[in-house]
Structure 1
Amino acid sequence: MKATGITRKVDDLGRVVLPIELRRNLGIGIGDTLEIFAEKETIVLRRYNAVDDLLTMAVRLKDRASVEDCGEIKQVLMDKLAEIEQIIMSKVDKH
């Protein structure tokens, strides 16, 4: 991690203001959604990417469907989930 030397106080509602210089440098705009991660004593903010979440869900669904007894629709379900995964991957590759 790169130190910025910038400090901010947490207000009574738990908010912290991200300095405009930092937001400009990182391309964070008004209304952007950020994900919050915590590890030990470190807090990490990352711009939220819904496509990543969709890809994760598609992979999990496909993995789950592969071990479940879905009867006659299992192959159709697996094919459709693979198709969804490919569509999402094509969008990820373009970014």
Structure 2
Amino acid sequence: MKPAGIVRKVDQLGRIVLPKSLRKRYQMNEGDPIEILVQGDQILLERYRPRCVFCSGMEGVSEFKDRFVCSQCFSEMNQLKG
């Protein structure tokens, strides 16, 4: 991970502001969902991408009954109907 050389303070409500240059570089727009990940003692921010509830895959994910399922798991579930 490469430092951006930017320091921001956390405000009284726990918020930080991401500089416009970073938002632009990583295509983050107002209202976009951001996922907060923890790795050891680091906090990581990523654009949210839905994951399959069964395998955690991110390829071919679609929403089904308020859950996200990938095409591979959906196909496997269809085979169980048999």
Unaligned runs of 5+ in 2: 57-72, 78-82
Aligned match of 1:5: 5
Structure 1 or 2: more helix by fraction: 1
**Structure 2 counterpart of 1:45, one-letter code:** L
Unaligned runs of 5+ in 1: 61-80, 86-95
**Displacement, 1:82?**
3.7
Matched, 1:28 2:28: yes
**Higher relative CO (CA 8 A, sep ≥ 6), structure 1 or 2?**
1
When residues 27 and 36 of structure 1 are mapped into structure 2, their CA distance, relative to the original with a 3 A threshold, is same
The residue number in structure 1 matching 2:75 is 83
TM-score by length of 2: 0.64
Matches within 5 A, 1:1-95: 1-50=1-50, 53=51, 55=52, 57-59=53-55, 82-83=74-75
Q: Which runs of 4+ in 1 moved over 4 A?
A: none
TM-score (ref. length: structure 1): 0.56
Which structure's residues are more often strand, by fraction?
A: 2
> What's the C-alpha RMSD, in Å, of the aligned pairs?
2.1
Count matched residues: 61
Provide the identity percentage: 39
